Amino acid sequence: MTRTRRQSKILEVISGVEIETQEDLVKLLNDEGLKITQATISRDIKELGLIKVLGSNKKYKYVYVDSGEQKISTKLLNMLRESVISIRTAMNMIVIKTLSGSANTAGMAVDKLNYQEVVGSVAGDDTLLIILESAEDAALIKDKLSQII
């Protein structure tokens, strides 16, 4: 598994499950069939800029926090490039098909691109739906995303 795919999986996991320790994350990923060491997870956490915050169960958990810069990191951009299978428009919408489990990461990347034409987006497991103001905006943003990918 590539580093980008592994880090994408980490972002997916922490967005859905409260992970308190690196060991918990290693165990969860190993249980899913990904053979990853604690040292690798430690490097990934540092590279992704994950921090710990107080979770709903009064225990700390790892989270990815948007720095507010509205700038997309190279790592996130690479995750987007590696995860997208196809991009299609449908009237004022864009439908992006991704590798299984990568739609949330693709959505985060698109959000960080901060396109003013984007009204909002919704991510499933392998599909990202982007809503735009008009069909013309959809075509424009599709072209921009296609150039990135």
- Integer angstrom CA distances of residue 129 from 15, 51, 82, 83, 144: 18, 28, 18, 15, 16
pLDDT at position 70 = 47
pLDDT at position 40 = 93
Following CA atoms 52, 102, 74, 27 in sequence, which dihedral angle do they give, to the nearest 10 degrees? 40
Residues of the chain below pLDDT 70 = 65-72
Q: What is the pTM of this model?
A: 0.56
Q: Which domains does the chain have, with CATH numbers?
A: 3-63 (1.10.10.10), 74-148 (3.30.1360.40)
pLDDT at position 68 = 47
